[in-house]
Amino acid sequence: MFLPLVGVGMLLLVDRRREAAIKHLTFAVSVLTFLVSLQLYRGFQLNVPGMQFVERKPWIAGLGVQYFVGVDGISLLLVLLTTFLTAIAILSSYTAITTWVKEYMICMLLLETGMLGVFVALDLVLFYVFWEGMLIPMYFLIGVWGGPRRIYATLKFFLYTMAGGVLMLVGIIALYYLNGGRPGGEYTFDLLKMYGLDLPLRTQIWLFLAFAVAFAIKVPMFPFHTWLPDAHVEAPTAGSVILAGVLLKMGTYGFLRFALPLFPEATRYFTPLFSWLAIIGILYGALVSMVQPDLKKLVAYSSVSHLGFVMLGIFALTIQGVEGGILQMINHGLSTGALFLLVGMIYERRHTRMIEDFGGLARVIPVFTAFFLLVTLSSIGLPGLNGFVGEFLILVGTFQVNVLYAVLATSGVILAAVYMLWMFQRVMFGKVTHEANRRLTDLTAREVAVLVPVLLFIVWIGIYPRPFLATTEASVKQLLAQVHIRYRADEPRGGTPPIPTESGKVGMGPRVMDASREPRAERGAEGQRGRGAEGINIVSAGDRAGSALAQANRPQTTDDRRGARHAQ
């Protein structure tokens, strides 16, 4: 996580006039960071749902603040995506950035550190520090190296995110005092210990909103999306790649790591609302994309639609929906990141992004056209490419909960094909009407090297997604057990947790999850201690403290991983 900071220290020692050395050093540090993150994947135990590679040290002992980090299957994929796209974005900046090169590269490495910190932090204060800290380098990336309206876009992005961050800070402080003030409680910001906090529904609702608004702004969900098109249009190409590929995923990750497991009753209470907001985002983003004259703004609005699919899958609260949502987070980072790279490459040649200024490019730059076609098909979800797998799982998981939701979301898939293929047709086919387009040069070797790794993952996930799904499976089952554990109905042993119905009440849905078996078996007769309305079992905080859920949340030590390898 702190390897990019080492790179920053090295860059500070390099003369700013040695721009080539600065670029090469920054790229080397980013590649090394990616290779180190691959070692996490090599040592990761797929069948272990709890946190692994945990590091814990006191930070502000008097307040219970710790340096507490670790990864599970959900955060591991996002760590890999972050390190991969950062290296790609830095390589793409070699010719695009010509002023203040040293400062630009320092901002890129600082941003990478902040993003990695968000995905691995298990202390709420540490998470908040990284969450707000990454705003600073992103502010400068857009504000210094952005387009003509960069100041307006930067302030809008900063104010939106800060407003959400203030609400989340209030929620964090409230959780701290609620956890410490309960009988036998502890004043701590330890996220895993807070998972056992039993709160009344009304309290959960307010705290859920404090976190959810911050995360919804970052996603961004409708109607909190208005900052995104301006930020994308004005950001440099690498900034757009990181913004779409990684920063937006911090919002969806926040729901998975914090909002859902900390406030399970509020999650179920708000499931219909967030499902409808996700569907509105899918359709709204697609319809607005259809009328965009600017290539970059079209891709920006398509992100609103794609992230709507992710949120719909998350709030389906089924294993297919959540796994599909996580995979779609990765897919969107790859496909939309590649689209921004391609738009940036054509902008460097023509200095325009208006669709009407192109036409007939296929006969002038055929290699660029081939790459653009593959990424376009990936974005619309063509079978055999990555976009199809995530959307298919999301729709399957949603269909099990609400058929209407699934039907409306499917119409978003159709609209995506319409606006993406129509855009491709207008840019690549027809007559060459502008003389400047006849003089365009095709992709250079460096640009091909930037795109090929991304396209390899696009094809790999589309053909064989199993390694990516297997990475998240155990963690997703644990997450759903955390959300559902208070609502255990009298289903037969080995049955599934209840899933929310359209009305938001708890109902027994299809058999889509097996994670309930362990917590139910561990709880035994004590789990029947409390019963709520409609005959639904309610497990107290004391029950959960000794349940299998607490065991699953226990950080994995070196001995645990060694024993797991021996068992395998």
- Which string of DSSP letters, residue by residue, matches 96-164? T--SSHHHHHHHHHHHHHHHHHHHHB-BHHHHHHHHHHTHHHHHHHHHHHS-TTHHHHHHHHHHHHHHH
pLDDT for 536 beyond 80: no
pLDDT the model gives residue 556: 52
Q: What percent of the chain has pLDDT over 70?
A: 85
Pairing of strands 506-507, 499-500: antiparallel
pLDDT the model gives residue 512: 35
pLDDT, tens digit, 9 for 90 and up, residues 107-129: 999 999 999 999 999 999 999 99
- In angstroms, the CA 481 to CA 518 distance is 9
pLDDT, tens digit, 9 for 90 and up, residues 7-35: 999 999 988 888 899 999 999 999 999 99
CA angle in degrees (0–180, nearest 5) for 136-146-148: 130
pLDDT the model gives residue 558: 46
Q: What percent of the chain has pLDDT over 90?
A: 64
- In angstroms, the CA 218 to CA 406 distance is 24
Q: How confident is the model at residue 548 (pLDDT cuts 50, 70, 90)?
A: very low
pLDDT the model gives residue 507: 38
pLDDT the model gives residue 492: 34
Q: Which residues pair with 354 in a beta bridge?
A: 294
- In angstroms, the CA 26 to CA 90 distance is 7
Instruction: Find the mean pLDDT for residues 44-70.
Output: 89
Instruction: Find the mean pLDDT for residues 210-234.
Output: 91
pLDDT for 200 beyond 50: yes
Domain definitions of the chain by residue range? 263-487
pLDDT the model gives residue 122: 94
Q: Are 547 and 553 in contact (CB under 8 A)?
A: no
- Which string of DSSP letters, residue by residue, matches 519-563? HHHHHGGGGGS-B-GGG-B---HHHHHTSHHHHHHSPPPHHHHHH
pLDDT the model gives residue 485: 59
pLDDT, tens digit, 9 for 90 and up, residues 283-331: 999 999 999 999 999 999 999 999 999 999 999 999 999 999 999 999 9
pLDDT, tens digit, 9 for 90 and up, residues 133-177: 999 999 999 999 988 888 999 999 989 999 999 999 999 999 999
pLDDT for 544 beyond 80: no
